[in-house]
Structure 1
Amino acid sequence: MRNRIRKGFTLVEILIVVVILGILAAIVVPQFTSATQDAQVGNIRAQLKSLQNQVELFKARSTDGQYPDLVGAGWDVMIDPNGDGDITDGYIKEAPRNPFNNSSTVAAAAAAGNGWHYTRATGELGACYFDESTSELTPGTP
Structure 2
Amino acid sequence: MNRSVVRKQARKAFTLVEILIVVVILGILAAIVIPQFTDASDQANAASQDSMVQTLQSQVELYRAQTGAYPADLAALVTAGYMRSVPNNPVTGAAYTYTAATGLVAP
Partner residue in 2 for 1:46:
51
Provide, for residues 87-112 of structure 1, a one-character-per-residue CA deviation record: whole Å limited to 9, x for no partner.
xxx1112221221244xxxxxxxxxx
Where structure 1 has 5 or more consecutive residues not aligned to the other structure, the ranges are 82-89, 103-113, 128-142
Partner residue in 1 for 2:65:
60
Mapped to 2, the partners of 1:95 and 1:122 lie a distance apart of 19
Secondary structure of 2:97's counterpart equals strand
Larger Rg: 2
Q: Give the superposition deviation at 1:116.
A: 1.1
TM-score (normalizing by structure 1): 0.66
- Tell me which amino acid in the other structure corresponds to 2:13: G
Percent identity of equivalent pairs: 47
Mapped to 2, the partners of 1:118 and 1:94 lie a distance apart of 15
Mapped to 2, the partners of 1:95 and 1:26 lie a distance apart of 38
Of the three residues 79, 85, 107, the one matched with 1:94 is 85
Partner residue in 2 for 1:27:
32
- 1:94-133 aligned at under 5 Å gives the runs 94-102=85-93, 114-127=94-107
Mapped to 2, the partners of 1:101 and 1:45 lie a distance apart of 13
Q: Which runs of 4+ in 1 moved over 4 A?
A: none
Q: Give the superposition deviation at 1:66.
A: 2.1
As a proportion of its length, which structure holds more helix? 2
Which structure's relative contact order is higher, taking Cα pairs within 8 Å and 6+ residues apart?
2
Aligned pair count reads 102
Partner residue in 1 for 2:77:
78
Mapped to 2, the partners of 1:119 and 1:68 lie a distance apart of 9
